[in-house]
């Protein structure tokens, strides 16, 4: 059974009048800018998760804070926006998966922070790619030097190239990739020419079958 959504009690302060007696001190005025920022943030998070008003109301109810669609609409679109209780804020935090402190941040700050985060990820990935490219170039140079220094190593190079192509590529591409690797490693175009002749023969046979 869903728990009731409790509103935090308000403490009323009293101050003396000039002619005696007391009256309650007025509460500070509502900050419409803050409420509108929170309303936009709630709308942003709801859109981010693809929730309708009905869906959000249902999830908040399951989180222990019953609320209807109309109230959610007034929070986002009302003029002025409908106020939000502490319990509702906690439930929204739970449903959105966003800490309360972060949920209070304006949308523009959230978007800017996300932009910075993604830019940082891109920068790190770019650095990693450059370093990986440098390592690949160094390994390629070492591989060619090894084959040039040890001619006997080339005797089974075709087998090694075939295994490499089998591991990395679908069957239809393996012959071409293996032949290309052999050509680039040895500067010998023999295997590539052989592959091209075989590929051309296969293509001709296929065309003949179609005819």
Please state, for a pLDDT cut of 90, what percent of the chain lies above it: 43
pLDDT over 90 at 22, yes or no:
no
User: Tens digits of per-residue pLDDT, 110-131?
Assistant: 889 889 999 999 999 999 999 9
**Which domains, ranges and CATH numbers included, belong to the chain?**
28-105 (1.10.260.40), 150-201 (no CATH)
pTM here is 0.55
Q: Would you state the structure tokens that stand for residue 23, as one six-digit string?
A: 């009256």
Q: What is the pLDDT of residue 13?
A: 43
Residues 6+ apart with CB under 8 A from 179: 161, 191, 192, 194, 195
* CA 198/CA 193 separation, integer angstroms: 9
Higher pLDDT, 38 or 188: 38
Q: What is the mean pLDDT of the chain?
A: 82
């Amino acid at each position: 059974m869903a728990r009731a959504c409790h509103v935090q009690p308000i403490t009323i302060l009293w101050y003396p009048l000039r002619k005696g007696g007391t009256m309650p001190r007025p509460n500070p005025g509502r900050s419409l800018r803050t409420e509108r920022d929170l309303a936009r943030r709630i709308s942003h998070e709801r859109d981010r998760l693809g929730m309708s008003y009905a869906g959000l109301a249902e999830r908040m109810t399951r989180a222990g804070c019953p609320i209807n669609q109309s109230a959610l609409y007034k929070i986002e679109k009302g003029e002025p926006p409908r106020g939000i209780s502490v319990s509702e804020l906690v439930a929204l935090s739970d449903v959105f998966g966003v800490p309360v402190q972060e949920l209070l941040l304006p949308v523009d700050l959230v978007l800017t922070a996300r932009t910075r985060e993604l830019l940082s990820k891109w920068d790190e990935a770019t650095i990693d790619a450059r370093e990986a490219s440098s390592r690949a170039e160094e390994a390629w140079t070492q591989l060619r030097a090894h084959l040039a220094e040890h001619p006997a190593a080339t005797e089974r190079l075709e087998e090694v190239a075939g295994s490499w192509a089998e591991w990395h590529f679908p069957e239809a591409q393996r012959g071409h990739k293996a032949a290309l690797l052999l050509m680039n490693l040895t500067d010998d175009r023999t295997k590539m020419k052989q592959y091209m002749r075989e590929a051309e023969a296969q293509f001709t046979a296929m065309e003949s079958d179609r005819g």
